[in-house]
A and B are shown apart, each in its own frame.
Chain A
Amino acid sequence: MSRDAMWDMVRMAWTMLSGRTDRDVRPGRPREPRPQPEPEERAIAAEGFAEEALPWLDAVYRFSLRLTRGDQDAAEDLVQDTFLRAHRFWHTYQRGTNAKSWLFTICRNTYLHQKELVRNQRERPEADLGARVEALSAASVFDTGSADPEQAFFGALIDDRVVEAIDALPEEFHEVLVLSDLGDLKYGEIAQVLDIPVGTVKSRLFRARKLLQDRLREFAVDSGYVQETT
Chain B
Amino acid sequence: MMESTGMIRCEEALARLWEFLDGELPPPDEAMVKKHLDICNRCYPQYDFQRAYFEYTSRMREREHAPPALRQRLFEMILEQEANNGKAS
A interface with B by C-beta (< 8 Å):
8, 10-12, 14-15, 17-18, 20, 23, 25-32, 38, 40-41, 43-47, 49, 54, 57-62, 65, 76, 79-80, 83-84, 87-88, 90-91, 155, 159, 162, 180-182, 184, 186-187, 202, 205-206, 209
Shortest C-beta distance, A32 to chain B (Å), equals: 6
Chain A residue nearest in CB terms to B50: A209
Q: List 5 A-B contacts (CB under 8 A).
A: A11-B45, A29-B21, A49-B78, A83-B74, A88-B89
- Judged by DSSP, the binding face of B is helix
Interface centre among A29, A61, A83, A180 (most CB of B within 10 A): A29
Tell me whether B73 and A62 are in contact (CB under 8 A).
no
Shortest C-beta distance, B20 to chain A (Å), equals: 5
Tell me whether B52 and A30 are in contact (CB under 8 A).
no
Tell me whether B23 and A29 are in contact (CB under 8 A).
yes
B interface with A by C-beta (< 8 Å):
18-25, 30, 33-34, 37-38, 44-49, 51-58, 60-61, 63-67, 70-71, 73-75, 77-79, 81-82, 88-89
Chain B residue nearest in CB terms to A83: B74
Contact A14/B81 with A57-B66, A65-B64 known, Cβ cut-off 8 Å: no
Task: Among A30, A187, A206, point to the contact of B55 (Cβ < 8 A).
Answer: A30
Tell me whether B49 and A10 are in contact (CB under 8 A).
yes
CB within 8 Å: A-B pair count: 135
Shortest C-beta distance, B83 to chain A (Å), equals: 9
Residues of A within 8 A of B74 (CB): 57, 79-80, 83-84
Chain B residue nearest in CB terms to A29: B54
**What separation, in Å, do the CA atoms of A41 and B77 have in the docked complex?**
12
Tell me whether B24 and A8 are in contact (CB under 8 A).
no
Chain A residue nearest in CB terms to B43: A25
Q: Which 9 A-B residue pairs are closest in the complex by CB-CB distance? A: A45-B88, A28-B23, A30-B58, A61-B66, A29-B54, A11-B49, A46-B89, A18-B52, A25-B37
**What separation, in Å, do the CA atoms of A25 and B70 have in the docked complex?**
40
**What separation, in Å, do the CA atoms of A11 and B41 have in the docked complex?**
13
Tell me whether A61 and B65 are in contact (CB under 8 A).
yes
Tell me whether B61 and A87 are in contact (CB under 8 A).
no
Tell me whether B49 and A30 are in contact (CB under 8 A).
no
Task: Among A58, A90, A187, point to the contact of B65 (Cβ < 8 A).
Answer: A58
